[in-house]
Amino acid sequence: MSIQQLNSLTSPLSPQQVDSLKQLTASMSAVELSWVSGYLAGISQSVGGAVAPSAQAGGKLTVLYGSQTGNAKGVATEVAAAAKEQGIEVELVSMGNYKTKQLKTETHMLVVVSTNGEGEPPDDAIQLHEFLAGKRAPKLDGVSYSVLGLGDSSYEFFCQTAIDFDERFAALGAKSLAPRKDCDVDYDDDVLAWQEQVLPLVKETLTASAPAPATFAGSSFGGESQYTKKNPYKATLLANPKITARGANKDVRHIEISLEESGITYQPGDALGVWFDNDPALVSELLALVSLDGEAKIEVAGNQVALSQALIEQFELTQLHPGFVSAYGEATEQAALVEIAQDKAAVRDFIEDRQVIDVIRQYPAALTAEQLTGALRKLTPRLYSIASAMSEVEEEVHLTVGVVEYDAFGNKHQGAASSFLAHRLEEDSQVRVFVEHNDNFRLPSEDKNVIMIGPGTGIAPFRAFLQERDNNDASGESWLFFGNQNFTDDFLYQTELQDFKDRGVLNRIDLAFSRDQAHKVYVQDRIKEQGSELYQWLENGASLYICGDGNKMAKDVHQAFLDLIIEHGNKTEQQAQEYLTTLRDTKRYQKDVY
């Protein structure tokens, strides 16, 4: 309601109060106005003020999410907000906090869930996923539901967790409101289409009434920063020094970004989303290979822009996916590509080391601008574990970025975002960022001991952990396992870690530099060496954290802990698995892997 509309009604406010309200809201943005509206609505509820009735009488909508990096949580939050705006009583709940006994009382459920690795559920969804697959899962005959999955079609088990939830709900007797929607990495349009399909169906089966205010005071999905993936903050790059030696095999950068005056806050364990531009030189080569004029105008999101600008700012050019192989092969009538695209195993092998430009280099052909952009995915931001604590750096945020660089098919390749931050973004220039809160990777609420496994750039969140514990004078002990290739070239943050050790902030540090001796040594080897004491730390209440490569390292570390629990806890393999499951369920075993 506008101030003009407010004035036209019989108001309980005095003229002076109305004038004050005008002055207060005159310079506010839409996001700020929404927050203030929600705040006032919350106060109204707390003092018994009237609240607009919801759009149901005999049930509510539960929006349930399972999220590893924050994407599914963000989507679920938007869906819940849209439901609220339509007058639907809605509860937004993380699967990690959901009580399974509540399933018997549900009437309408929307499930938003991502998929990890080889078809695995995110950490906060594991317990519910296992419960629904077990014998204790209740009949869900009275539940109407729909599932939305987030995934990456480059992987074999695309949206597998969403498929699992959909199949289990159906098997337990729940009624599908709308078919499951499986979304690729550029998911915004698909999410909106699913939301617009399913919310009216939810509302139809609930008793219609006056719409609730489009505000979320007191709910679990309010109070976020105004800066999001869709509305990033234009921050300033302060520094990006290389923190590996000149002759090192890896180029790792310590990125410092100013958040001054943004109001953005974060906690240790959160991630920073970074939007980037593609390399203009790469775009020029690509356009030449497909015989297109970069100055030609195309329509993107309702705007006319030059094709070269669109490719630099709007489309994914490095991460190759099966859909491009198929679309490009069909558009250019390349039979070999079409054949590869039709074989799931073959296309996965084909895209493993290739980027978009490699396909076009190998199979050059003329395209129309529409064919090219239609085959590409929309550009998506990259997420980096935050390597700083606000208690230490205040209105800054730090990242530890390994620059992706490799030779393949006779050409040098670079990662789009890492090379943008390291090579193309100059100091004092702007970079668009937002915070992805990660509730699945948090320091313990009590001052307990922590075990941190972070080889390579996996050290990032643990630098933040140590800064936070240092500034809070934590009495709990800290034990870090760090590894890389060479001590002299790749010991990231060596001076800082030594200072933490000298001052007792870091009580123990075990190092594994794989190439400093003939026999390669990794963090999992150091874990095995310290198995007895590590088990005692766990028995005494320590929390365990792993950050870094999820394809191999995290699995090897998990196995190392299973082995030490079996050996030093005198347990069977099944008992050791249950031991780690209990740690995970009680938030004492957390992973941030990629």
**3-state per-residue secondary structure call for 50-84:** CCCCCCCCCCCEEEEEECCCCHHHHHHHHHHHHHH
DSSP-assigned beta bridge partners for residue 149: 113, 182
Q: Which of 47, 36, 419 is nearest to 240 (CA)?
A: 419
Q: Cite the residue boundaries of each domain of the chain with CATH code 2.40.30.10.
A: 233-276+381-436
The helix-helix angle for 553-568 and 573-585 (nearest 10°) equals 120
> Which CATH architecture group holds 280-375?
Up-down Bundle (1.20)
Is there a contact between 49 and 244 (Cβ–Cβ < 8 Å)?
A: no
Q: How many angstroms separate the CA atoms of 233 and 223, rounded?
A: 17
Q: Which stretch of 39-48, 100-109, 318-327, 465-474 has the lowest confidence by average pLDDT?
A: 39-48
Q: Which residues have C-beta within 8 Å of that of residue 176, sequence separation ≥ 6?
A: 144, 145, 146, 166, 169, 170
Kindly report the CATH number that applies to the domain delimited by 233-276+381-436. Answer: 2.40.30.10
Q: How many angstroms separate the CA atoms of 385 and 464, rounded?
A: 9
Is the pLDDT score of 4 beyond 50?
Answer: no
pLDDT at 137: 92
Q: How many angstroms separate the CA atoms of 199 and 177, rounded?
A: 9
**Over the chain, what is the mean pLDDT?**
88
Which residue is it, tokens 């990794």? 522
Which residue is it, tokens 């109305």? 18
pLDDT, one tens digit per residue, over 549-586 is: 988 999 999 999 999 999 999 999 999 999 999 999 99
pLDDT at 287: 97
Q: How many angstroms separate the CA atoms of 537 and 410, rounded?
A: 50
Instruction: Report long-range pairs for 35-40 (Cβ below 8 Å, ≥24 apart).
Output: 35/222, 35/223, 35/226, 37/213, 37/214, 37/215, 38/213, 38/215, 38/216, 38/217, 38/222, 39/217, 40/217
pLDDT, one tens digit per residue, over 402-444 is: 999 999 999 999 999 999 999 999 999 999 999 999 988 999 9
Homologous superfamily in CATH for domain 61-204: Flavodoxin domain (3.40.50.360)
Q: How many angstroms separate the CA atoms of 36 and 32, rounded?
A: 6
Is there a contact between 220 and 81 (Cβ–Cβ < 8 Å)?
A: no
Q: Cite the residue boundaries of each domain of the chain with CATH code 3.40.50.80.
A: 450-593
Question: What confidence tier does 592 reach under pLDDT thresholds 50, 70, 90?
Answer: very high
Half-sphere exposure of 359 (CA within 13 A, CB side): 31
Q: How many angstroms separate the CA atoms of 237 and 257, rounded?
A: 5
By percentage, how much of the chain surpasses pLDDT 90?
Answer: 76
CA distances from 339 to 157, 320, 322, 333, 409 (A): 21, 17, 12, 11, 21
Domain topology for 450-593:
Rossmann fold (3.40.50)
Mean pLDDT of 349-355: 93
pLDDT at 207: 56
Task: Provide the residue count of the chain.
Answer: 594
pLDDT at 8: 39
Question: What confidence tier does 17 reach under pLDDT thresholds 50, 70, 90?
Answer: low
Per DSSP, the three-state class of 457 is helix
Task: Report the amino acid identity of residue 192.
Answer: L
Mean pLDDT of 341-355: 92
Question: What confidence tier does 3 reach under pLDDT thresholds 50, 70, 90?
Answer: very low
pLDDT at 324: 95
Q: What are the tokens at 42?
A: 């919350």
By percentage, how much of the chain surpasses pLDDT 70?
Answer: 87
Q: Exposed (0-12), middle (13-18) or buried (19+): which is 21, by Cβ within 10 Å?
A: middle
Handedness of CA 213, 217, 223, 229 (dihedral sign): negative
CA distances from 162 to 64, 219, 322 (A): 12, 25, 20
Q: Which of 158, 207, 204 is nearest to 177 (CA)?
A: 204
State the DSSP string of 286-335.
Answer: HHHHTT--TTSEEEETTEEEEHHHHHHHTB--SS--HHHHHHHHHHTT-H
- Beta strands 382-385; 271-274: pairing state: antiparallel
Q: Which of 356, 352, 286, 277 is nearest to 314 (CA)?
A: 277
Strands of 508-513's sheet, edge to edge? Answer: 508-513, 478-484, 450-453, 543-548, 589-593
Q: Which of 168, 177, 72 is nearest to 115 (CA)?
A: 72
Question: What confidence tier does 153 reach under pLDDT thresholds 50, 70, 90?
Answer: confident
Q: Cite the residue boundaries of each domain of the chain with CATH code 1.20.990.10.
A: 280-375
Q: Which of 297, 288, 240 is nearest to 418 (CA)?
A: 240
Is the pLDDT score of 2 beyond 50?
Answer: no
* Per-residue exposure over 133-166, b if at least 16 CB sit within 10 Å of its own CB, e if not: eeeebeebeebbbbbbbbbbbbbebbbbbbbbbb
Is the pLDDT score of 351 beyond 80?
Answer: yes
> Which ranges in 381-478 belong to alpha helices (H)?
390-393, 416-419, 460-471
Q: How many angstroms separate the CA atoms of 278 and 300, rounded?
A: 16
Mean pLDDT of 311-331: 95
pLDDT, one tens digit per residue, over 493-535 is: 999 999 999 999 999 999 999 999 989 999 999 999 999 999 9
pLDDT, one tens digit per residue, over 111-127 is: 999 998 778 898 889 99
Is there a contact between 469 and 267 (Cβ–Cβ < 8 Å)?
A: no
Is there a contact between 337 and 363 (Cβ–Cβ < 8 Å)?
A: yes
Q: What are the backbone angles phi and psi of residue 380, rounded to the nearest 5°? A: -125, 150
Q: Cite the residue boundaries of each domain of the chain with CATH code 3.40.50.360.
A: 61-204
Q: Is the pTM value of this prediction over 0.95?
A: no
CA torsion angle for 231, 413, 153, 441 (degrees, to 10)?
Answer: -60
pLDDT, one tens digit per residue, over 39-69 is: 454 444 433 333 333 444 457 899 999 998 8
